[in-house]
Amino acid sequence: MLTIDGVALSFEAGQTLMEAATAAGVYLPHLCHHPEFKPHGSCKLCTVKVNGRFASACTLPAAEGQEVLSETLELRQLRVRITQMLFVEGNHFCPSCEQSGDCKLQATAYALGMLDSHFPHFFPARRVDASHPDILLDLDRCILCELCVRASRDMDGKSVFGIAGRGMESHLVVDAESGALVDTVIEVSDRAVKICPVGAILIKRTAYEKPIGQRLYDHHPIQAVLLQADQGGGSCDQ
CA-based torsion, 98, 189, 228, 147: positive or negative: negative
Does the domain at 126-207 match CATH 3.30.70.20? Answer given as: yes
Q: What percent of the chain has pLDDT over 70?
A: 96
Work out the burial of residue 114: count CB atoms within 10 Å of its CB; fewer than 13 is exposed, 13-18 middle, 19 or more buried.
Answer: middle
Domain ranges of the chain: 1-125+212-238, 126-207
Distance (Å, rounded) from C-alpha 18 to C-alpha 231? 11
CA distance 39 to 58: 6
Residue 97: predicted pLDDT: 92
For residue range 149-200, list pLDDT tens digits in order. 999 999 999 999 999 998 878 899 999 999 999 999 999 999 999 999 999 9
* pLDDT band, residue 227 (cuts 50/70/90): confident
Please state the pTM of the whole predicted model: 0.91
pLDDT of residue 238: 45
Q: Which helix (H) or strand (E) holds 55?
A: strand 53-56
- Closest Cα to residue 90, out of 40, 145, 52? 145
Whether residue 234 has pLDDT greater than 90:
no
The yes or no reply on domain 1-125+212-238 and CATH 3.10.20.740 is yes
**DSSP-assigned letter for residue 62:** P
Task: Name residue 49's amino acid.
Answer: K
**pLDDT per position as a tens digit, 57-83:** 999 999 999 999 999 999 999 999 999
